[in-house]
Homo-oligomer: A and B are copies of this chain.
Amino acid sequence: MSSTYHEEYAEGLLDHARKELLAISAATEINVHEVPGAFEIPLVVQAIARAGNVDAIIAFGLIMEGQTAHATLISTAVTDGLMRIALMTGIPVVHEVLVVINEEQARARCIDDQLNRGTEAARVAMRMAQVMDEFSTEAGR
């Protein structure tokens, strides 16, 4: 999932995540859902989690801090929402809704390779899918 607000950065995150997910396992099935704004991310994440058949969800987004408190309000509510969805559904939700203060920070995290949060998110998602799978296997025995 990616917020369409900052198209280029979202694409950067998505490309890096896709590449890493397939590098870890070539058979990884990836579905992408776009949402029009950051505040809307949790509602769509919840819909995906409830539709079932996913091992993990990565929430990508980019919030640029502006002149008002809006970015802080939105990012806090989104973070809280993602946590609650994970706890309610038991499905790992990787939080990559980034808050940045300028284009340079956005570029470093979304487009460049070194600190890319997309790559990082892919690894966390794959690992968490495995961790949670072990719990449900134990519970099923």
Q: Which A residues lie at the B interface, using CB under 8 A?
A: 33-37, 39-40, 42-44, 46-48, 51, 65, 67-70, 72-87, 90, 92, 94-95, 98-101, 105, 123-124, 127-128, 131-132, 135, 138-139
Contact = CB atoms under 8 A, between A and B. Distances in A.
A75 B86 CA distance: 16
Contacts of A78: 83
B77 A83 contact: yes
Given A33-B131, A36-B127, A100-B68, A43 B81 contact: no
A123 B37 CA distance: 10
Contact of A76 (B35, B47, B73): B73
A86 B82 CA distance: 13
A124 B132 CA distance: 27
A72 B69 contact: yes
Which label, helix, strand, loop or mixed, suits the secondary structure of the A interface? helix
Closest A-B pairs by Cβ, 10 of them: A36-B127, A47-B135, A77-B83, A36-B124, A73-B79, A69-B99, A77-B79, A39-B95, A37-B124, A43-B86
Nearest to A126: B36
Given A44-B132, A68-B100, A77-B95, 16 more contacts: A34-B131, A35-B128, A35-B131, A36-B123, A39-B82, A40-B92, A42-B83, A42-B86, A46-B90, A47-B132, A51-B138, A68-B101, A73-B76, A73-B99, A74-B79, A78-B83
